[in-house]
Amino acid sequence: MDARTLKEGIVSGRLDPDALSAGFADLHAPLSDHEALVAADRCYFCHDAPCITACPTDIDIPLFIRQITTGTPEAAAKTILTQNIMGGMCARVCPTETLCEEVCVREVAEGEPVQIGRLQRYATDTLMAQGVHPFSRAAPTGKRIAVVGAGPAGLACAHRLAMHGHDVVVFDARPKAGGLNEYGIAAYKSTEDFAAREVDWLLQIGGIEIRNGMSLGREIRMADLQDDYDAVFLGMGLGGVNALTAPGADKDGVLDAVGFIADLRQATDLGQLPVGRDVVVIGGGMTAVDAAVQSKLLGALNVTIVYRRGRDRMNASVWEQDLAAAKGVRIITNASPIAVHGNGTVREIEFEFTDDDLNPTGQTFRLAADQVFKAIGQTLTGEDLPDLDGRKIAVIGAGRTSVSGVWAGGDCAAGGDDLTVTAVAEGRDAAEDIHAALMRA
């Protein structure tokens, strides 16, 4: 091991390449043909299947599993992709343990659900490996739609609009398309550049142009989009990061977890990524868990998640919490940061215990930290936006905003639950509503 010190306590190359490769391997290995048939055979093919109701994209889960049992995974994939064009990524990152699999009859009766997520991956991977795109465009309509954001919501919207024969231009601030799937998901959940490959596959529908490095309010303006296009869909996610207000939060070593995960996802050599010896992650959602687990996998000695509420209030599922614990991450709850200590660079972070109503108890403690990651939520950025509902764009129906001809969906819109699968559903439904509106015009 050849560790390279960047700042005191923060070094790259803590682990050798073999250890890094093992740690960042695919979290759930894909099913073989035989394993898929065995797993599919456990499904009861319920008539009023609760798993369908629990799926935000309403995939007919019993049907696609039955298609796997008949040896036609390609047909199963089309069943999935008709409802969720990003079914391949969702199979990897959906919290199925709190969605379809939680309500599976097998789970309720036996405590072991049908492996719906892994079967969905088996079907979609089989089809994508063939290089086949199962959908085609309708006759051209002559309509042009602008989509802001090439994440799950924007891409799902663009694909469905392209299927209806519309031409779509997708604007995205990042150098690569994919949004959260490309930049914001733990590397062990999406391996082998899958996010980029899924985007390339999706674009095979035709009629979609992606323009990178184009940010709303900077390179593009809402008024221009409204003038130049027949409709606009906003799916740019949340570009800002909530600030840590504790004194000393501006010290070196206090970083955004979102940026850390993005850097890791884009790294060509994990051995070059710096990580602290003592890492503290503030937050209780999926981003906090992803940052903490990956810090541990990069070789951090001590990694602690600190959340201000109880475990039952964490946005990260119990499964994700258990995964963090299994990787050696400690989780401390009911504690809020009150000060960051150090002479220019973080050395310790001080917390105060709170009760269930976030009232301070007066009891404090300190954690050694040479690296602190903030995972305390993101904020909406942009100019000339439609009316807001709180800190997100207000929407009614299938994503209609306060501005005529402008729709919104995904994390930037109010009412969602910040999941990839929900963003896909909102983008798809907005596209159908846009199509109906344009055809009536």
The CATH number linked to 124 is 1.10.1060.10
- The answer for residues whose C-beta is within 8 angstroms of residue 184's C-beta and 6 or more apart is 258, 261, 262, 265, 287
Q: What is the mean pLDDT of residues 203-211?
A: 98
pLDDT by residue (tens digit) across 38-85?
Answer: 999 999 999 899 999 999 999 999 999 999 999 999 999 999 999 999
95 domain-assigned: yes
281 domain-assigned: yes
137 domain-assigned: no
CA terminus-to-terminus distance, the chain:
65
Residues 211, 333: one domain? Answer: no
At 126, give phi and psi (nearest 5°). -60, -45
Residues 253, 372: one domain? Answer: yes
138 domain-assigned: no
Is the separation of the CB atoms in 338 and 351 below 8 Å?
yes
Is the separation of the CB atoms in 317 and 333 below 8 Å?
no
Sign of CA dihedral 194, 275, 3, 15: negative
Neighbour count for residue 34 (Cβ, 10 Å): 8
Is the separation of the CB atoms in 336 and 242 below 8 Å?
no
Neighbour count for residue 186 (Cβ, 10 Å): 23
Q: How far apart are CA 277 and CA 5, in angstroms?
A: 11
Residues 409, 260: one domain? Answer: no
- Per DSSP, the three-state class of 172 is strand
pLDDT by residue (tens digit) across 130-172?
Answer: 998 999 999 999 999 999 999 999 999 999 999 999 999 999 9
Q: Looking at residue 8, what is its pLDDT?
A: 63
Q: What is the mean pLDDT of residues 373-402?
A: 94
Residue found by looking up tokens 């000339």 in the block: 384
Residues 154, 87: one domain? Answer: no
47 domain-assigned: yes
How crowded is the C-beta side of 347, counted as CA atoms within 13 Å? 4
Complete edge-to-edge strand list for the sheet that includes strand 278-282: 254-256, 371-374, 278-282, 302-306, 330-332
Q: How far apart are CA 339 and CA 248, in angstroms?
A: 6
Query: What is the secondary structure of 285-312 as a DSSP string?
Result: SHHHHHHHHHHHHTT-SEEEEE-SS-GG
Q: Looking at residue 2, what is its pLDDT?
A: 45
pLDDT by residue (tens digit) across 257-275?
Answer: 999 999 999 999 999 999 9
Q: Total structural domains in the chain?
A: 3
56 domain-assigned: yes
pLDDT by residue (tens digit) across 215-233?
Answer: 999 999 999 999 999 999 9
367 domain-assigned: yes
Q: Which pLDDT band, with edges at 50, 70 and 90, does 239 fall under? A: confident
368 domain-assigned: yes
Q: How far apart are CA 80 and CA 63, in angstroms?
A: 9
Residues 234, 249: one domain? Answer: no
Among residues of the chain, what percentage have pLDDT more than 70?
98
Please state, rounded to an integer, the average pLDDT across all residues of the chain.
Answer: 95
Residue 1's Cα: distance from chain center in Å? 33
pLDDT by residue (tens digit) across 312-352?
Answer: 999 999 999 999 999 999 999 999 999 999 999 999 999 99
Residues 161, 191: one domain? Answer: yes
Q: Which pLDDT band, with edges at 50, 70 and 90, does 417 fall under? A: confident
End position of a domain, from candidates 80, 102, 129? 129
Could you give the angle at the alpha carbon of 314 between the alpha carbons of 310 and 319, nearest 5°?
115
Q: Looking at residue 115, what is its pLDDT?
A: 98
Residues 10, 46: one domain? Answer: no
pLDDT by residue (tens digit) across 174-188?
Answer: 999 999 999 999 999
Q: How far apart are CA 305 and CA 294, in angstroms?
A: 12
Neighbour count for residue 272 (Cβ, 10 Å): 10
Please name the residue ranges forming H helices in 145-267.
Answer: 152-163, 180-183, 194-202, 222-228, 257-266
Q: What is the mean pLDDT of residues 193-209?
A: 97
Q: What is the mean pLDDT of residues 355-374?
A: 96
Residues 120, 190: one domain? Answer: no
The bridge status of strand 348-354 relative to strand 360-368 is antiparallel
End position of a domain, from candidates 129, 152, 167? 129
Residues 349, 260: one domain? Answer: yes
End position of a domain, from candidates 377, 412, 430? 377
Range of the domain at 339: 4-25+241-377
The bridge status of strand 348-354 relative to strand 335-341 is antiparallel
Residues 70, 190: one domain? Answer: no
Residues 367, 406: one domain? Answer: no
Residues 299, 336: one domain? Answer: yes
The CATH number linked to 361 is 3.50.50.60
